[in-house]
Structure 1
Amino acid sequence: MKIISSLSEFLVWRASISSSLKVGFVPTMGALHNGHAALIKGSLNEADITVVSIFVNPKQFGENEDFSSYPRTVEKDCDLLQSAGVDILFLPQYEDIYSDDVKSFAFEHFFSRQLEGKSRPNFFPGVVNVVSRLFNIVKPSMSFFGKKDAQQLILINKMVNVGGFPIKIIPVETIREPSGLAMSSRNIYLSKSQTISASKIYKSLLLAESLLKHGEKDARVIKNEIKKNLLVDPAISVDYISIVCLNDLKEVSGEVCSPVLVSVAVYIGGVRLIDNIFYE
C-alpha cells in the first residue's frame, strides 16, 4: 500500500494511472471499523485500483459538536487498510483539500435541510463541499457509501447527477454488531451499559418494519410506537423519528406508501447515534 500525504504527490500519482483502469474510492474520516471494511471490500471486488482517504473534515461539524474529540486512529487504520489490500491511502491536509486549485461543487436540495440537515445545519453543506473536492482530486470511476448514512447516500447520488460527475455511486449494506447496533466510529464513546441501550435503536426500527408488514399505514402510529419503544430506556433521548417517501423525499404525515426510509436519531449519554431501514 502506498501512502500519499500531499495533494501534489497525489496528482502526480493519479496522472500516471491509465484511463483504462477503474479506480474505486472510499472517502472516510478514519477510526475505521467493519462498516468501512465492507465499503473497501466492495471496491476491491469492483475496481482495478482502490483508493481510501482519511480526512476529518471540520466544515461538516457544528460549533458544539465533536470535531476536536472525534477519534483519530491513523496507525491502526493503516494496519487495517494494509491487510485489506488497499492500493492507495490518501492522507490530505486541510490546505490540500481546501486549496484554491481544487474545484468544489455547490449543491442545494430541500432534502438536505431535513433530518440530519435540520439537526446539524453545517453537516450537508460541509459533506457536499468536501466530497465534491475529493471527487475532483481522486477522479474515481466509482465510489462506495454505506446505507447507514442513508440521507448522505441519497444526496451524494443527487450531487453526482446534477454536477455531471462521471462516477458511479455504489451503496453498501449497513454492518451491525451482533446486538443489531449499526457500526459507527462514535460507538467508541459508549460505555457497556450505553451500548446495551443503543441496541434498542435497531430493535425500534425492526418494530416499525413489522408494523408496516402487518398492514399499519398510519405514519403517526408507527412513529409513536418507535418512540415508546425507545423511551422505555431512560438513557435514550430522541432527536428525531422520520418516515420519508423515497419517491419524493418528503416526510410522510398521513398514510405510508412504500418505498420509504424510516430513520431515527437519538442521544445516549451525550453521544448522538443514527440508524435507518429502507422499506420497500
Structure 2
Amino acid sequence: MKTVTTIADLRAQVKEWKKEGLTVGLCPTMGYLHEGHASLMDKSVSCCDRTVASVFVNPIQFGPTEDLATYPRDFERDCQLLEEHGVDLVFHPEDREMYAEDFSTFVDMQVLSTTLCGASRPIHFRGVCTVITKLLNTVNPDKIFFGQKDAQQLAIIRRMVRDLNFDVEVIGCPIVREPDGLAKSSRNTYLSAEERKAALILSRSIRLGQDLCEGGERNSAALLGAMKDKLATEPMANVEYVEVVNGENMQPIDTFQEGDLVAMAVRIGSTRLIDNFTVGDPKITFAE
C-alpha cells in the first residue's frame, strides 16, 4: 500500500492506473477508522480495480465550538486497517495542501442542508461538499463510497454529483453496528463506560421506530412521539432532534412511506451521536 501527501502525487498515480484501463474507487474518511469504514473499503475493493482512501480531518466542516482539535487521530493504526482491507493508496494531506492560505471558493447547497444536522451545524455541509468536490476533481474515481449512518451527507453528495455533473457513481453502504446495537462511530471513543451504556438508547429507539413502521404506522407525529418517549427514559440523553424526512430532499413530512428517512441526533454527555433508519429496510438486530 502506497501513501501520498500531495495532490500532485495522488493525481499522478491515478492517471497511471487510468492509462492501464483500471477502475478506481474512492473512500473519503476523517480517519480513526473502524469496521464501518472497513466495510466501505471492502465494497470498493470488490467492485473496483484500485481503491484510494483519504484520511483527512477536514477543518472547514467543523464549527468554532466543535471538536476539531480533539477529534481522534491515529494514522499508523488507520494504515494497518486500510492495508488489511486491500486499499492500494492512502491520501493523507496536511491542511495547507488542501486549502491555500487565501482559499475562498466553496461548494454550498440549498434545501437538503437546512434540516437535521444542517440546522445546528450551518457550515458543516458546505465544508463536506467542498472537500468532496476537491477529492473528486483530483481522483476522478469511477465510484465513491459513503456510509448510511451519515444519511443526510449521503443524500447531499448524491444531489451534488447530479447537479454538478460529476461522472461518478455514489454508493451508500449499510450502517455497521456493535453487537449491542450502537452504530460504529469514531466519536464513540469519547464515551465513558457509563455513557457508553446510556448510548444504547439510540439503537433501541431506532428499533422501536422500525417495529412501529413494520406494524403499519405511517403518521410522523405518532412515530416521533413514541421514539421521543423512549429516548426520554434515559436521563443522560439530551435530544437534539428526531425527525422524519423525505428520503430525497431531507424535508420534514407529516406522513411517510418506504424510502423515507427517520433520523436522530442525541448528546450523551458532551458526545454528539447520530443514528437513523430508512423506512422499509431490514430491522436492526442486537443483543439485549
Q: Is the 8 A contact 1:58 1:67 kept in 2?
A: yes
Partner of 2:136: 135
Residue of structure 1 equivalent to 2:212: 211
Q: Which residue type is aligned with residue 250 of structure 1?
A: Q
Moved over 3 A (4+): 102-105
- Change over 3 Å in CA distance of 1:48–1:193 after alignment to 2: same
1:1-280 matches, within 5 Å, as 1-19=1-19, 20-99=21-100, 106-246=107-247, 248-252=249-253, 254-280=254-280
Q: Is the 8 A contact 2:108 2:125 kept in 1?
A: no
- Give SS of 1:110's match: coil
Q: How much has 1:247 moved relative to structure 2?
A: 5.0
Secondary structure of 2:266's counterpart equals strand
Q: Specify every segment of 5 or more residues in structure 2 that has no aligned partner in the other structure, as ranges.
A: 281-288
Once residues 103 and 74 of structure 1 are traced to their aligned partners in structure 2, the CA distance between those partners, rounded to angstroms, is 28
Task: Give the CA deviation at 1:13.
Answer: 1.8
Deviation per CA, 1:232-280: give whole Å up to 9, x if none.
110101000000122553201x333333100010000110000000003
> Does the aligned pair in 1 maintain the 2:32–2:186 contact within 8 Å?
yes
CA contact (8 A) 1:148 1:174 kept: yes
User: Quick one: percent identity of the two aligned structures?
Assistant: 39
What is the rounded CA distance, in whole Å, between the counterparts of 2:111 and 2:32 in structure 1? Answer: 31
Mark the CA change 1:45 to 1:104 in structure 2 (over 3 Å): closer, same or farther. Answer: farther
Evaluate the alpha carbon distance shift between residue 134 and residue 120 of structure 1 in structure 2; reply closer, same or farther with a 3 A threshold. Answer: same
Q: CA deviation at 1:15?
A: 2.5
Describe the shift of the 1:234–1:162 C-alpha distance in structure 2 as closer, same or farther (beyond 3 A).
same
**Deviation (angstroms), 1:157:** 0.5
CA contact (8 A) 1:265 1:275 kept: yes
Contact 2:27–2:41 under 8 Å retained in 1: yes
Other structure's SS at 2:113 match: helix
- What is the CA–CA distance in structure 2 between the aligned matches of 1:262 and 1:150, rounded to whole Å? 10
Once the two structures are overlaid, the 10-residue window that deviates more, 28-37 or 257-266, is 257-266
User: What CA distance in whole angstroms lies between the structure 2 residues aligned with 1:83 and 1:220?
Assistant: 45
Deviates more, 1:24-33 or 1:104-113: 104-113
Counterpart position of 2:286: none
Tell me how far 1:105 sits from its aligned partner: 6.4
State the Cα deviation string for residues 183-210 of structure 1 (Å, max 9, x = none): 0000000112211111110110111111
| Cα RMSD (Å) | 1.7
Contact 1:104–1:133 at 8 Å: present in 2 too?
A: no
- Aligned equivalents of 2:115 and 2:249: distance in 1? 13
Aligned-partner Cα distance in 1 for 2:100–2:16: 22
- Ranges in structure 1 where 5+ consecutive residues have no aligned partner: none
What is the alpha-carbon distance in structure 2 between the residues aligned to residue 153 and residue 103 of structure 1?
25
User: What secondary structure is seen at the aligned counterpart in 2 of 1:111?
Assistant: coil
Aligned partners of 1:107 and 1:159 also within 8 Å:
no
- TM-score normalised by structure 1 residue count: 0.95
The AA in structure 2 aligned to 1:262 is V
Which residue identity does 1:223 align to in structure 2? Answer: L
Q: CA deviation at 1:50?
A: 0.4
Cα separation, 2, equivalents of 1:247 and 1:237: 27
Residues 256, 17 of structure 1: alpha-carbon distance in 2 compared, 3 angstrom cutoff:
closer
Please state how far the C-alpha of 1:154 moved relative to its aligned partner: 0.5
